[in-house]
Amino acid sequence: MKKILLVILIVLPFAAQLVVLPFVNRIDPIILGLPFLQFWLFLWIVLTPFCTFGIYQLQKSQGGLD
Amino acid sequence: MQQGNLTALSITICIILTVVLIGFLAGRDKATRSSVEEWSVGGRRFGGLLVWFLVGADLYTAYTFLGLTSTAYTAGSLAFFAIPYSVLAYFISYFFLPKLWKVANHHKLTTLADYARERFDSKLLSSLIAIVGVLMLIPYICLQLSGIQDTLQVAGTGFINVKVVVITSFFLVALYTFFSGIKGPTYTAIIKDVLVWAIMLFMVVSLPIMHFGGWNPMIDKIVTEAPQLLTIPTEGPKGIPWFITASFVSALALFMWAHAATGVFTAKSADAIRKNALYLPLYNIVLILVVFLGFIAFLVLPDGTDPRFALLALIQTSYGGIGQGLAYSTIALASLIPCSIMAIGASNLFANNIYRDLINPKVKGAKLTMITRGMVFVVIGLALLFGLVFPQALVSLQLLGVSGMVQIFPAIVVSLFWRNQTREATIIGLLVGLAVTFTVYSTGTSLGIYEGFWGLMANFAAIVVLNPLFVKKAKVSTNDVKDYLFGRKSKEVDLVRKGA
């Protein structure tokens, strides 16, 4: 279970910022004053640290860090 | 060139001189230059916050601000490739930098090439990596140079001889770097980072209000008048495949740069580095907004403005003397301080991995420290020479910098996790990767994909195919770094050693 979560947290930033780009490459809807593509990139500036933090906590709980 | 502004010029020069002074004061304790380790990586004593400032100062340079706005001005949203690039670079770094730092700390290594030498027992590999690093870094220092040159040209036309001031300011930076080592740029980095955040946010808030009456009216105007700026082009030579591969390859390459590695090695613990990997993406909040300044320039500036000056011309037409002065000094500092860290990185490679590993293996101690420090003048001198005398000759190297640097990724990062990676395959892979990158670039056959991506694929392919040919020896041989990374290997190693 934890292993699956770990893999998801690792894959997610790559998928969101590279793989799905063709689908988010659009102007509408404009959110928080940002056209959609820019909003999406902005969103992942904020979300990526959460993924990293999740991985950090998982590794810590497994005693993988020293 | 339009006449400059005297108030702006005076503020810029005052701030530059203050920072240079602080750079000197930072090194008043003699210990800062007592050894290569002290001078180049601050004795590895920097905590999380200091490393954050240092790496931030390192990577967000004048070229970042001037280059991104000018890309946004000419190529629209392609400029946003810098966002996933740097966010992913920090994310990826979380998985290998702590490990690399531990090896470097344990074995007292100060450059990436040092690591490769110890990991693979190969001075050939370490000097190759050093040559690639220095060759790619000098053009990058040149970019910083043209950044400050452009800034002073806009600020000081009619008042000063720009070339003389540029040479003087770089000489001062070389001098304080020689004197204070990494402590110089670290303390000044804090000033630079605070200024960058304050000034960039100020511009992002005030410019839309001044020119369009607010942020939302500005977005409306871009959507109706220049919607092509807001999405990644779906046709043409650079489209989505370029955007994706450029982001990915640049992300892998970021910490392969000598100046980035220097910044990382100053950390006092692996945990300080993990925390940095966590918080550094937030630095990009300012970066994404800066790209919009390029769009503002596109709408506001008259047709025919040189894209290279997009941001500077925008500042000049929008602000009075004080605003201009603060903005110019921010860009000037963003050019001088990274330059100092880059010079430390390049000098370190030059002295340790080209001079010592290749030419004079016996050199050590005080003499090596002196040579490392002295190389600062050579590196900055070379950058000045190329930048002022042959500005065109370096364009290719600048464009290929990232694609070239990423080729050492297998030697530095993959080798942390793959015990049986062999020296021979790694060296050949590196050379194949470089050759493919240059061939693709010079023949223009990239097929809409980032050049470095082809090079890296060829690099990996060569390693995977050739590794089995040499793996027998790598399996049984060991060394301190391998033992440290993978633990003492099985009995057979001992048996082989006893037998030998």
| Interatomic CA distance for residues B312 and B151, integer angstroms | 7
Q: What is the pLDDT of residue B206?
A: 92
Determine the residue of chain B that is closest to A19 in CA distance.
B244
Query: In this complex, which of A21, A38, A65 lies closest to B243 when CB atoms are compared?
Result: A21
Q: What is the pLDDT of residue B405?
A: 92
> CA dihedral defined by A21, A23, A29, A32, rounded to 10 degrees?
-30
| Interatomic CA distance for residues B38 and B31, integer angstroms | 7
Tokens of A65: 């860090």
Does B288 contact A48 at a Cβ distance shorter than 8 Å? Answer: no
Q: What is the pLDDT of residue B392?
A: 62
| Interatomic CA distance for residues B188 and B448, integer angstroms | 40
Q: What is the pLDDT of residue A39?
A: 93
> CA dihedral defined by B312, B317, B320, B323, rounded to 10 degrees?
-30
Which residue, among B81, B102, B231, would best test binding to A if mutated, counting the most A CBs under 10 Å from its CB? B231
Residue A4 class from Cβ within 10 Å (0-12 exposed, 13-18 middle, 19+ buried)?
exposed
Contacts of B457 (CB under 8 A, 6+ apart): none
The answer to whether B77 contacts chain A (CB < 8 Å) is yes
Find, among B121, B101, B103, the residue nearest to B422 by Cα. B121
H/E segment holding residue A20: none
Which residue, among A27, A31, A37, A52, would best test binding to B if mutated, counting the most B CBs under 10 Å from its CB? A52
Does A38 contact B288 at a Cβ distance shorter than 8 Å? Answer: yes
Does B216 contact A34 at a Cβ distance shorter than 8 Å? Answer: no
The answer to whether A59 contacts chain B (CB < 8 Å) is no
Instruction: Calculate the alpha carbon distances from B276 to B93, B191, B207, B248, B282 in Å.
Output: 9, 19, 31, 20, 10
Tokens of B149: 């040159």
Q: What is the pLDDT of residue B457?
A: 93
Instruction: Calculate the alpha carbon distances from B198 to B280, B317, B335 in Å.
Output: 17, 20, 17
Q: What is the pLDDT of residue B108?
A: 85
Q: What is the pLDDT of residue A14?
A: 93
Q: What is the pLDDT of residue B409?
A: 94
Q: What is the pLDDT of residue B499?
A: 46
Does B219 contact A49 at a Cβ distance shorter than 8 Å? Answer: no
Does A27 contact B223 at a Cβ distance shorter than 8 Å? Answer: yes
CATH number of B6-396: 1.20.1730.10
| Interatomic CA distance for residues B444 and B481, integer angstroms | 41
The answer to whether A25 contacts chain B (CB < 8 Å) is yes
Radius of gyration, alpha carbons of chain B: 23
Q: What is the pLDDT of residue B394?
A: 59
Q: What is the pLDDT of residue A66?
A: 62
Size of interface A-B (CB pairs under 8 A): 88
Averaged pLDDT in 10-residue chunks for chain B of 500 residues: 80 87 81 78 77 78 84 87 91 91 88 90 90 87 83 82 82 86 82 88 92 90 88 83 90 90 85 85 86 91 84 88 89 87 87 84 82 88 80 65 91 90 91 91 82 91 89 79 74 48
- Strand-pairing partners, residue A4, are none
Among residues 438-457 of chain B, which lie with CB inside 8 Å of chain A? none
Does B271 contact A65 at a Cβ distance shorter than 8 Å? Answer: yes
Map chain B to HEC letters.
CCCCCHHHHHHHHHHHHHHHHHHHHCCCCHHHHCCHHHHHHHHHCECHHHHHHHHHHHHCCHHHHHHHHHHHHHHHHHHHHHHHHHHHHHHHHHHHHHHHHHHHHHCCCCCHHHHHHHHHCCHHHHHHHHHHHHHHHHHHHHHHHHHHHHHHHHHHCCCCCHHHHHHHHHHHHHHHHHHHCCHHHHHHHHHHHHHHHHHHHHHHHHHHHHHHCCHHHHHHHHHHHCHHHCCCCCCCCCCHHHHHHHHHHHHHHHHHCHHHHHHHHCECCHHHHHHHHHHHHHHHHHHHHHHHHHHHHHHHCCCCCCHHHHHHHHHHHHCCHHHHHHHHHHHHHHHHHHHHHHHHHHHHHHHHHHHHHHHCCCCCHHHHHHHHHHHHHHHHHHHHHHHHHCCCCCHHHHHHHHHHHHHHHHHHCHHHCCCCCCHHHHHHHHHHHHHHHHHHHHHCCCCCCCHHHHHHHHHHHHHHHHHHHHHHHHHHCCCHHHHHHHCCCCHHHHHHHHHC
Residue type (1 letter), A20: V
Radius of gyration, alpha carbons of chain A: 15
Tokens of A31: 């959110």
Residue B160 class from Cβ within 10 Å (0-12 exposed, 13-18 middle, 19+ buried)?
middle
Q: Terminus-to-terminus CA distance in chain A, angstroms?
A: 23
Q: Terminus-to-terminus CA distance in chain B, angstroms?
A: 73
